[in-house]
Amino acid sequence: MLWPCGKLEQALGRACGTSAQQLDASFSTNANLEIFEVDFRDPSLDMKQKGALPASNRFHKLMWGNFGNGSAEPSGVLVGGGDNGVLTMYSVQRILTSKGDPVIGQTEKHSGPVRALDFNPFQSNLLASGANDSEIFIWDLNNFSVPMTPGTKSQPHEDISVVSWNRQVQHILSSAHPSGKAVVWDLRKNEPIIKVSDHSNRMHCSGMAWHPEVATQLVLSSEDDRLPVIQIWDLRFATSPLSQLEGHTRGVLAVSWCQADPELLLSSAKDNRILCWNPSMGEVVYELPIRSQWCFDVQWCPRNPSVFSAATFDGWINVYSVMGGNLEAQQRTQADKISSSFNNLDPFGTGQSLPPLQVPEQVTQTTLIPPLKKPPKWIRRPVGVSFAFGGKLITFGHTKAPGQQMQQTYPHQVFISQVTTETEFLLRSKELQMALQSGNLLDYCQGKIQTAKLPVDENLWNFLKVNLEQDSRTKLLKLLGYNTDGLISQALLLGNFEGAVELCMRAERFADAIILAIAGGDKLLKETQKRYFAKQKTNLSVVSDDIVCMCDLQSWKEALAILLTYSKHEDYTQLCDMLGARLESEGDAALSNDACLCYISSGNVERLVECWVKNHETSSPLALQDLIEKVMVLSRSIEMLRGIAGPAPGPVLAERITQYANLLASQGCLAAAMNYLPSSSKEVSEQQAVVGKSSVVGEVVLGMRECWGFLPEKFTPLAPITAPVMGMPAESQGTHPQLSRLQESGQSPPGAPKEGNLQVPGKVGLSCSFCINSAGFFSCQYHQLPGESIEKKELPPEHQALKTTFEGLVQRCSAVATDPKTRRKLEDALQRLECLYEKLREQALSPAILMGLHEIARCIEAKNYPQGLLVHTQVVSSSSFSEVSGFMPILKVLMTIAGKLNV
């Protein structure tokens, strides 16, 4: 059974302590302190206990503060006020872990029960407490032995029912007494500065709370059934209350003011009602169904503003939401309670068991609770949030300077921040990018082999690694468990002359085949001779597709070994693909994984992807990363083998690459995303044609390219951007300080909007206007400005030769290129080289990169393209990717094309 308790929620859960001066049905006087987890993801209604502790005293008040968070007490501390002036401080972490003494401080300085506690919202180490005889102490939790007092005790001496720190001014504290009087203390002066008192003499104060935003306003609640009201006071006019909330029919037991919205004030009373008020309007905006028990404590959750808790005298803690929902309450009869209390025995001592009581069956009732009619402040305009391209999160809303009130006017700010949710994915993506840029793929593959968790992955990475090495066929044979002549030797060792003859015949080692056939007997000899003459007559290829089509699939390794050993180069790829297709279509899931090894051996990237996605999930970021890693390494091995880029991706691969690029972009890695996409609009059209009717690929690619072309190379969006809001004062409008330098230098184009624009340096003819639209959401508008209004700088004379050499290479290649795809790449090259020229004009490249570019140009002039590619690799591997990603890839393409065309 849950005991009545006081509590203050944190992200961790809820603390509950046995209430003083109350007994349960068994009349137990034991005390407990319990911590429960509030997990809104759990569909069940029961809160799970995370820690428990027998307590030496029952509690009049229990508070959970964040004192010590992030250091010795990562979960904060609990402070409980008990009888006989006892004040105890507990370590939440030690209660949860059951390690060490949870009591980290205790004092008995007070006289009488400690009924009032409150933590200072500005200094977590300051705790106010109140007890009998007008006694108020201020405790420093760093030194929990000697308290201070706010001033001389108020006269006449009476009990302190509640203490509360002001929410705007950290040195203001208030206290209230059951008589209805409230005192406001100034700790800087150590004296009371004002007293508030109801002159009706019927105001028995049970609760008090400061206004969350207006420093001079507070509420007092009355427990007297003759005056069950909540009074709103303003200290600037303290002769009488500003207003009075009248809705309860019996005395008010507790009040709690929502810190996220001052228009939400909770109250509970002896009429069994829980109401939520709008204090400024004096009306009830939310009400829970009437319960059968008094609720003696209500509290808003400080972490989730829509959630509040209620503690009732029947021992239950319930958590509700002002956003509405269903309330499921199971009827429990008093007979059940009595039976459980007396353990089903006769309560009058006869020693006989009680006969079963015929009671109506318990029925589960569902009550619909409507939400607030007016949206709460934390989700109300002009507060808004929206995600933008590239994982950018745009937020706007009211800003509040410390110690100032919200009624004042402040500049409206739009905040742009980078949101990353896939940390491990980004780390692995960066490792792949570094390996591809540096060309050190062998070490990358070796690392994957060592960290592989499954044999399937280890085999795949072994095959991928071998594909990058010299004499890959021989090494693939070793991975399969064979040597070049090992097949024949193995057959002979096993006495399998037929197998040995078969291998020799396929290798056109006819003399060996005849000798082995003689040893195998007359029948084998005649068959071998017959096959020999037939082969000579029809001139069949050494290794036909018979091996692939007729072999036992369980012996696929032997078949692949024969292909590796004896097939001609021009047949090898096709035969490997045929074997893989058989493993896919006729085999089980394990053989389908083996088919991937065949496609790696043949270098067929598209078939590898098709086979992989049939048996593996690729929707999650890490699963997609697994696939792209294999695809990129295999693609690079094909480029190394053939000297040119492989064929355009097919539909399955194109779709996965687009998903991958889109995911990278959503995490803010725009440059990395661009590296996986086609380099021109024409290639985008080709890729769309491959994928089919879907235009998603083209839209994603073109959208990324357009946005990336607009954004500066180095964009740090973490600083706030002051932007105009509809209807806000003109003095609060402005531009981003990092981007206003362009306007200050006189480079802003004529006709550009003057207010609220982001002028992006390094890009001609574009500006971006940020505003809040009528719906209250962030909008971003692009304006095309007259490009001729900004004159381009001339290339520095020392770098003019780079432009001459690179553009001359494009012209030489274009003059002899006949392949349409190659011609399109050359056309796109001139546009992409503009990125290099722009950096040269702005002198934005490091000396090392400039030296490498001039060395590449010298290699091009000498037509030594292999050496130029080596220099290219050195430059890329030693430079920041964002520095060179705009132009170095196209230089590699140009040199590769030039080498192929021999120009």
Q: Residue 373 above 70 pLDDT?
A: yes
**Chain segment 462-471, per-residue pLDDT in tens:** 999 998 888 7
Residue 526 CB-half CA count within 13 A: 2
CA distances from 529 to 498, 506, 514, 673 (A): 13, 14, 7, 61
Tell me the helices (H) and strands (E) count for the chain, helix number first. Answer: 27, 35
> Is it the case that residue 83 has pLDDT exceeding 90?
no
Lowest mean pLDDT among 207-221, 226-240, 268-282, 631-645: 631-645
Q: What's the CA gap between 622 and 627, in Å, rounded? A: 9
β 265-269/252-257 pair status: antiparallel
Q: What is the pLDDT of residue 169?
A: 95
Give the least confident one: 364-373, 390-399, 628-637: 364-373
Given a cut of 70, is residue 26 above it in pLDDT? no
pLDDT at position 40 = 75
pLDDT of residue 5: 35
pLDDT at 492: 63
Nearest to 852 by CA among 795, 838, 860: 860
Calpha distance 827→118 (Å, rounded): 72
| pLDDT of 62 over the 70 cut | yes
Give strand ranges (E) for 288-369: 295-300, 307-312, 317-321, 325-330, 364-369
More confident residue, 362 or 625: 625
pLDDT in tens, 591-639: 888 999 999 998 899 999 999 998 889 989 999 999 999 999 999 888 8
Judged by average pLDDT, the poorest of 143-147, 277-281, 712-716 is 712-716
Task: State yes or no: pLDDT of 560 exceeds 80.
Answer: yes
Predicted pLDDT at 767: 31
What are the residues whose beta carbons fall under 8 Å from the beta carbon of 270, sequence distance 6 or more? 223, 225, 228, 248, 250, 251, 252, 253, 294
Residue 55: φ, ψ to 5°:
-110, 150
Q: What length does the chain have?
A: 903
Q: Are 174 and 147 in contact (CB under 8 A)?
A: no
**Mean pLDDT, range 89-101, rounded to an integer:** 89
HEC string of 407-453 equals CCCCCCEEEEEECCCCHHHHHHHHHHHHHHHHCCHHHHHHHHHHHCC
Query: Regarding beta strands 252-257 and 243-246, do their DSSP bridges make them parallel or antiparallel, or are they unpaired?
Result: unpaired
The pLDDT score that the predictor gives to residue 729 is 31
Average pLDDT over residues 543-567: 77
The mean-pLDDT minimum among 65-79, 391-405, 702-716 falls in: 702-716
pLDDT at position 299, please? 93
Average pLDDT score over residue span 41-46: 76
- Tell me which DSSP letter residue 195 carries: E
Q: Tell me the mean pLDDT in the region 455-482.
A: 86
Asked if residue 195 has pLDDT above 80, the reply is yes
- 3 state DSSP class of 797: helix
User: Are residues 763 and 749 in contact, defined by beta-carbon separation less than 8 angstroms?
Assistant: no
Taking residues 578-594, report their average pLDDT.
86
What are 672-712's pLDDT values in tens digits? 888 887 665 455 555 555 444 344 444 445 444 444 443 33
Instruction: Dump the DSSP string for 694-727.
Output: --HHHHHHHHHHHHHHHS-SS--TTSEEE--BTT
% the chain with pLDDT above 70: 74
Lowest-confidence range among 136-140, 461-465, 816-820?
A: 816-820
The angle formed by the CA atoms of residues 589, 590 and 591, to the nearest 5 degrees, is 90
The pLDDT of residue 163 is 96
Give the pLDDT band of residue 735 (cuts 50, 70, 90): very low
Residue 265 has a pLDDT of 97
- Max mean pLDDT among 215-219, 522-526, 828-832 falls in 215-219
Question: Is the pLDDT score of 343 beyond 60?
Answer: no
User: pLDDT tens, 273-296?
Assistant: 999 999 999 999 999 888 788 898
Alpha carbon distance 142, 124 (integer Å): 10
Segment 581-598 shows an average pLDDT of: 86
